[in-house]
Chains A and B, each alone.
Chain A
Amino acid sequence: MKLIKFGVALVAVSLVAAGCRGGGDDGGSEAVDAPGVSDEPCPTPVNDGNGCIYLGSISDLTQGPFAALGVPIVDAQKAFWQRVNDDGGIGGYDIDVSTYVKDNLYNPQTHQQVYGEISGDVLALAQTLGSPTTLAILPDMESDEMIGAPASWTSLWAFEDVILESGANYCVEGMNSVDYAVENMDVGSVMAVGFPGDYGGDGAAGAEIASDGHGLEFSSVETEPGQENQGGAISSIVREKPDLVLLGVGPTETAVIVGQAASQGYQGRFIGLSPTWNPALLETPSAPALEAMYMQSGPWGPWPTETDGHAAMREAVGQVDQPNDGYTAGWVWSYPLKAALEEWLEGDYDKTRAGLLEAVQALETVDYEGVLPEDAGNFADDQPVFTQTLLSSVDPKAPTGVVVEEDFFEGETAAGYDFTGACFEG
């Protein structure tokens, strides 16, 4: 009898001890059994008694062409999750996004290699930068049931369950840009100039769909990255004189193309997809041409926009040398992952990666604190493409060199288009 009593007491003590462990005590009753989740505190703990959820980041941090974006994206995400931790964490856990940050050099092979290095140590990816790079790990992510926030806007992400995209994709940006130009600039011809692959290609595909819908003359020119490689694109623009050029290139290429084309007599208009802009362009000799001829398309408002989310970002990121919308992007991309973790830990889901994926698929809205409408975070619907974008014009006095000219709008092409797959299938 004594033995039975002792056994019952032991079980009771064990249950109490399990209940008192960090994590899992706020929501779901089940113990968490997923990689990257620990009952031990984070390396830099914020809340006493909290366990730790490790999120990985694979970004372009040193040598790649998007390092100027990757670095602020990582910084903004650290600030975002620090704010979450300062507010008590999620479900009894602090979130760590500093321990597993890897450089992909914007190389798909490197991306795949570093993913393999961290995939067993993290619950999810706070960032996977680039489209070709993320495509390289997509099969692994699917087999690992690893969800991740992308740092790119290709339309394919809307059809991948493990990717938590935010805002409109390049294809929609292309559609809305052409629709806007038709209404406001009286255009009869459109040329898409972009990098080969799903960035330039996705934007060009959207512009072509819209141009066809409006009966506009459309042409497309691929151009390689690099200042010295823009001669062909510039010659095409100057020779064909399209009324509108849609750019899907990097900031430096934007400066070269707009400046040189204007210098050679081109007088049409340019609209650049979101990654084409960097405020430093206003210090190049192309600045006058950019001010006169260029508009930037974007999936959300730039750095100084007055929303609760933007204000929180500016406060969390703190003083920066140069405000940059890489910060804004890193911040915004973090909201769906936060919503998914809350849903997973507080809801009745298996406390495994599969359960987290299930929680993502239950999200019908995400609170972006006003940066995006809540329905932009619909991961449950079969038709989840968000089709509103903004257009900004150049203003050297603005912190990031652009001010919103046309707030969130949906063009008639995107509104009527049936998104059943990626626009660009290269």
Chain B
Amino acid sequence: MTEFLESVLRGLGNGAIYALLALGFVIIYKSSGAISFAQPALMMTGAVISSYIAPALGAALVGAVAFFVSVTAAALVTALVAMAIERLAIRPMIGRAAFTIAIITIGIDIAVRVITSGFIGLGARPVPNPWGLERTEILGLRIQERHLVALGILALVVLLLVLFFRYTRHGLAMRATAFDQEAAMTQGISVGAVFSMSWAIAGALAAVAGTLLATSAGVDRQIWIVALVALPAIILGGLDSLAGAVIGGLAVGVVESLVGSYQGQWAPWLGNNFQVVAPYVLMFVVLLVRPYGLFGTPEVRRV
């Protein structure tokens, strides 16, 4: 039982990173109706920025403070990068089909990744942090400290997003735009500014996720692939649901971890790497029962 619970905790730690990424996907989808495939590149960019800032701060600040300052700075810089991308490449496409915008984001993703890779160099760039692979014991269960940090950051981010969407003018504007763009425009809301804000938030979340991911083995040129795991998370959670993104991300992390821990023992006939496809199997099962995901809004069209 201990092994099972420890596996669940590991899954929740990784799932927190998927959830942060999934939140970014959902925020852009809600505002613009398009999925942004540039999230992997923004995640990589944020992690690379952290890998430069954290060591520079390390000499002046103690470990944890340097880490959190570098995460914050990376989130801000990546948000600016995301805003610039939105303004230059996405805004002119407003009014085009969501599919067209999605394809453009694939191109952006590749271009940004190629540029960012140039800053990584030949090996992996470490992101110094005080936790490393250290483990701590809670109620007799051993869990990596970096997983606890990831879960704590996810909780903080969710709280900040709730406060932002509920109590700030920009948050309300984003909710109104997500509900009905034309109605929002008639109320004087700048839809362009909302798009920009959504990209900024998604970029910042991707940077935080990338930095957390890099605490294990650093940032390498392939780290972006992890962001793709967030796709089944947002589909099973519901494309337009922030709660669904969080639950979906955590669920994917837990399923991945449990399958990785037990499948070789209990179902070896599934092959060696079934944990890689497990999130998609989970997504498929959920969609069979709830076609719009766990928390997605059923689409109703008048015919």
Complexed CA–CA distance, A278 and B222 (Å): 15
Q: Please report the C-alpha to C-alpha distance between residue A399 and residue B113 in the assembled complex, in whole angstroms.
A: 29
* 0 or 1 for each of B104-127: is its CB under 8 Å from A? (1 = yes): 000000100110010001111110
Judge whether A236 and B264 touch: CB under 8 Å.
Answer: yes
Residue-wise interface mask of B (91-113) relative to A, using a CB-CB cutoff of 8 A (1 in contact, 0 not)? 00000000000000000001001
| Chain A residues with CB below 8 A from B222, complex form | 65, 225-226, 250, 252
Contact with A along B121-151 (1 / 0, CB 8 A): 1111110010111010000000010000000
- Tell yes or no: A280 within 8 A of B by CB: yes
Check B216 against A227 for contact (C-beta < 8 Å). Answer: yes
Question: Which A residues touch B213, using CB under 8 A?
Answer: 227-228
- Please report the total number of B residues contacting A with Cβ < 8 Å: 45
Contacts of B260 in A (CB 8 A): 231-232, 234-235
Q: A159-179: which residues lie under 8 A (CB-CB) from chain B?
A: none
Q: In angstroms, how far is the closest chain B Cβ from the Cβ of A218? A: 15
Q: Which residues of B contact A280 (CB under 8 A)?
A: 122-126, 218
Chain B residues, CB < 8 A from A72? 122
Knowing A251-B123, A278-B123, A283-B126, the reply to whether A68 touches B220 (Cβ < 8 A) is yes
Contact pattern, B 194-224, Cβ under 8 Å of A = 1, otherwise 0: 0000000000000000000101111011110
Asked if A222 CB lies within 8 Å of chain B CBs, one says yes
Which residues of the other chain, B, contact A322 by a CB distance below 8 angstroms?
121-123
Residue of B nearest to A68 (CB): B122
User: Given that A226-B222, A231-B256, A260-B133 are contacting pairs, would A278 and B273 also be in contact in the complex, using a CB cutoff of 8 Å?
Assistant: no
Q: Which of B215, B229, B273 contacts A223 (CB 8 A)?
A: B273
CA distance A225 to B228 in the complex (A): 14
A62 in contact (CB, < 8 A): yes
Residue B263 at the chain A interface, CB threshold 8 Å: yes
Which residues of chain B come closer than 8 Å to A283, judged between CB atoms? 124, 126, 218
Is B144 a contact partner of A63 (Cβ separation < 8 A)?
no
Interface contact A259-B133, CB-CB below 8 Å: yes
Residues of B contacting A284 with CB < 8 Å? Answer: 124, 126, 216-218
Q: Tell me which residues across on chain A come within 8 A of B110, comparing CB atoms.
A: 63
Nearest CB of chain B from residue A191's CB, rounded to whole Å: 11
Residue A221, interface by CB 8 Å:
yes
Q: Give Cα A256–Cα B217 distance, bound, in whole angstroms.
A: 6
A239 on interface, CB distance cutoff 8 Å: yes
A41 contacts chain B at the CB level, 8 A cutoff: no
Flag whether B297 is at the interface (Cβ < 8 A): no
Give CA–CA (A281, B126) in the complex, Å: 8
The answer to whether the Cβ of A229 comes within 8 Å of any Cβ in the partner chain is: yes
Cβ–Cβ contact B264 & A259, under 8 A: no
**Do A252 and B225 touch (CB < 8 A)?**
no
Judged by a CB distance under 8 angstroms, whether A120 is at the interface is no
Q: Would you call A301 an interface residue if the criterion is a C-beta within 8 Å of the partner chain's C-beta atoms?
A: no
Give bound CA distance, A260 to B10, whole Å: 11
User: Does B272 lie at the interface of the complex (its beta carbon under 8 Å from any beta carbon of A)?
Assistant: yes
Min CB gap A75→B, angstroms: 10
- Interface check B65, CB cutoff 8 A: no
Contact of B114 among A62, A225, A326 (CB under 8 A): A62
Are A232 and B273 neighbours in the complex by a CB distance under 8 Å?
yes
Q: B181: CB under 8 A from chain A?
A: no
| Chain A residues, Cβ within 8 Å of B273 | 196, 222-224, 229, 232
Docked-complex contact B117 and A63, CB < 8 angstroms: yes
- Chain B 268-294 against A: per-residue CB contact (8 Å), 1 yes, 0 no? 000111111000000000000000000
- Taken together as a complex, chains A and B put the C-alpha atoms of A289 and B117 apart, in Å, by 27
A62 and B117 in contact, given A228-B14, A283-B218 (Cβ under 8 angstroms)? yes
**Does A232 lie within 8 Å of B132, measured CB to CB?**
no
Known: A65-B222, A226-B226. A235 touches B261 (CB 8 A): yes
Tell me the bound Cα distance from A235 to B226 in angstroms.
Answer: 19
Is the CB of B241 closer than 8 A to any CB of chain A?
no
Contacts of B14 in A (CB 8 A): 228
Q: Are A279 and B114 in contact (CB under 8 A)?
A: no
Q: Is A321 an interface residue (CB 8 A)?
A: yes
Q: Quote the shortest CB–CB distance from B70 to chain A (angstroms).
A: 15
Cα–Cα distance between A227 and B117 once the two chains are bound (Å): 17
Q: Which 5 A-B pairs have the closest CB atoms?
A: A280-B123, A231-B260, A285-B132, A283-B126, A255-B217
Q: List 5 additional contacts besides A196-B273, A239-B264; criterion CB under 8 Å.
A: A223-B273, A232-B275, A251-B123, A255-B216, A280-B218
* 10 sampled A-B residue pairs with Cβ under 8 A: A62-B114, A227-B216, A232-B263, A234-B260, A239-B264, A251-B123, A255-B124, A263-B135, A263-B144, A285-B216
Binding site for A on B (CB under 8 A): 10, 14, 110, 113-114, 117, 121-126, 129, 131-133, 135, 144, 213, 215-218, 220-223, 225-226, 229, 256-257, 259-265, 271-276
